[in-house]
Chain A
């Protein structure tokens, strides 16, 4: 398999942890809340899913437990940041540290054990196309994630629920004045984001790698937050960004495999460097950020 086929076939799977977490964070930020704890939520999801699958609970149960765990920890964020109106940046950082700590604590005895991933399912017909066909052979979670992307796009952009969420992110006082429960909807968005981050971690540890090691999320939660900015808070662009990062992380793998004369540490830091560069390019266009940006992002709501 040459490098291009390698990247085409693996890109979507590599993108899935980024995509799931970023979709969750997108909804949270659309509702006007900045949750920086994604890295910790993913770490918790990863260890929970791994433990369930390792003990024979199966992948479905693993994902459910990881999603519930992520949602539960993100509700702690909701209580502190919304209930007690704490600084959202500090609260998110605390959740991140707590989630990573809990994951290391729970996973201590599972370090470097392995489990079985999931089989690849071919999309009938399309998977027989030469070269690009590889794109249509994916595990079930990737297929579900693609459907979820479409669903979240449709809900945010085309439905009343999406409109309310966006209104609350844009102008919570006005949304409150016309009778929408701002705090309740924000809490629901945060719980959804936590669940998605839990799924993202579960995918990383129980399908993609599949093993658990302390620090295995390796900044993917932070990149997911950056993806929301790259995507200028639009679902389609967030999806494209996730694919880009899937490809970048595979490029560093492919380059290492071909024995390219580049230090492996430089290749490992490629996703972080690309994040820094793309963040600079996108952010420099202030008009673009303003156009779709969330006006009340990170500000506590008081009646």
Chain B
């Protein structure tokens, strides 16, 4: 330290109260940092940054058909992230939404796969309900392990996601494989009544977008206005205080995981009954993991999450464009996601702290 003595060192000093301006600016600053970092990387890889910028961040807005695909992608991200954020605020880290999504898709698919000839307007709503139940059931294993066996929910929920992916493979290569599907690991195509009605003709956006927005509103009411949501937040901020006030930790864990699983399962069901129309291996392109980033980037706030889900969807659609037009591997999207979350975590430090530059105190040798 002696070399640095006399120089000015930056120190983080805790603010008396969190800065609202900084809280609003943090995601925007993070986005700026992430864009600069990633575009430098693309230049190092020898890609034309202007072409990537155009394909990745502008093209998704330039036509109605492209933007409708953004809305379609944003749906599952928004839904899963709203569910996860409620848990994260209670300090319950469910990172197994991927598995809950897969189970939701499987539960929902059971109807069109077992009853391929059924008709009626009740089929797709029932599939959505079944999907939500499937996701919540899968999450309840984690809740049980956490509450009863004291096992870390991060590890258990993640392991269950890996198991769920294998279970999906098993179904698609075994009992649920389409017999007329040329041995592809996929189910039969679902009948017409098993599909969620589309909202705007010519696009793939469907009614589930309304359901997602309605549930986002409910998440807002729950977290900002209800006593239960208040209890969850207190439990996350000050578990001891919550304990003394009689808020049970076990109850918070069950509630967080069931809500998270319900939302992820519903998203899985809406994906197979919506744009995909059958059960496939690639029903989720990492939605469950991306939604973790969406939840944090939205500041774990129901309104913020709407914006971050939209942005993440732009990144997915734009990444697909860049893969075609700028010859950028799709893995670049994952790199962008990871660096975006890191940049956000740095930016958000300035909500609670301010940077001070001062001379380090001269310490006497012990």
Contacts and interface: CB of A to CB of B under 8 A. Distances in A.
Interface stretch (A2-10, A118-126, A274-282): A274-282
A276 B166 contact: no
A302 B14 CA distance: 10
B150 interface: yes
**Size class of the B contact interface (CB-based, 8 Å):** 35 or more
B148 to A, nearest CB: 8
A160 interface: no
A268 B163 CA distance: 9
A103 B292 CA distance: 20
A101 interface: yes
Nearest to A280: B149
Nearest to A229: B152
Contacts of B296: 90
B267 interface: no
B342 interface: yes
A222 B174 CA distance: 28
Nearest to A81: B345
A240 interface: no
B213 interface: no
A95 B342 contact: yes
Interface stretch (A57-65, A133-141, A195-203, A283-291): A283-291
B169 A283 contact: no
Contacts of A101: 331-338
Contact of A284 (B150, B152, B346): B150
Nearest to A179: B366
Contacts of B338: 40, 94-101
Contacts of A226: 152, 155, 159
B151 interface: yes
Interface string B149-167: 1111011101110110011
Interface string A212-225: 00100011001001
Interface string A241-271: 0000000000000000000000101101100
Interface string B63-98: 000000000000000000000000000000101000
B162 A269 contact: yes
Contacts of A218: 162
Interface string B326-365: 0001011111111101100110110001000000000000
B170 interface: yes
A147 interface: no
Given A279-B155, A280-B145, A97 B346 contact: no
Contacts of B145: 276, 279-280, 283
A87 B155 contact: no
Contacts of B170: 263, 265-266
B255 to A, nearest CB: 19
Contacts of A98: 334-335, 337-339, 342
B12 interface: yes
Interface string A144-162: 0000000000000000000
Interface in A72-116: 76, 80, 84-87, 89-91, 93-102, 104-105, 108
B257 interface: no
A191 B14 CA distance: 27
A268 B167 CA distance: 10
B334 A100 contact: yes
Given A101-B332, A283-B150, A86 B348 contact: yes
B319 to A, nearest CB: 11
Contacts of B209: none
A94 B341 contact: yes
B12 A105 contact: no
Nearest to B91: A89
Contacts of A265: 166-167, 169-170, 173
A56 B186 CA distance: 41
B289 interface: yes
B293 interface: yes
Contacts of B339: 94, 98
A133 to B, nearest CB: 35
A95 to B, nearest CB: 7
Given A76-B342, A80-B345, A97-B293, A105 B93 contact: no
B340 to A, nearest CB: 8
Contacts of B151: 276, 279-280, 283-284
Nearest to B156: A276
B360 to A, nearest CB: 12
Contacts of A266: 166, 170
A279 B154 contact: no
Nearest to B150: A283
A225 B353 CA distance: 31
B155 A222 contact: yes
A19 to B, nearest CB: 18
A143 interface: no
Contacts of A76: 342
Most chain A CB inside 10 Å of its own CB: which residue of B148, B149, B289: B149
A279 B152 contact: yes
Contacts of A89: 93, 154
A222 B159 contact: yes
Interface in B151-195: 151-152, 154-156, 158-160, 162-163, 166-167, 169-170, 173-174
A272 interface: yes
Most chain B CB inside 10 Å of its own CB: which residue of A36, A225, A266, A283: A283
Contacts of B366: 179
A273 interface: yes
Nearest to A286: B150
5 contacts: A100-B334, A269-B162, A272-B159, A279-B155, A280-B149
Interface of B: 12, 14, 93, 95, 145, 148-152, 154-156, 158-160, 162-163, 166-167, 169-170, 173-174, 289, 292-293, 296, 329, 331-339, 341-342, 345-346, 348-349, 353, 366
Nearest 9 Cβ contacts at the A-B interface: A98-B338, A101-B334, A104-B331, A101-B335, A86-B345, A94-B341, A97-B338, A84-B349, A265-B170
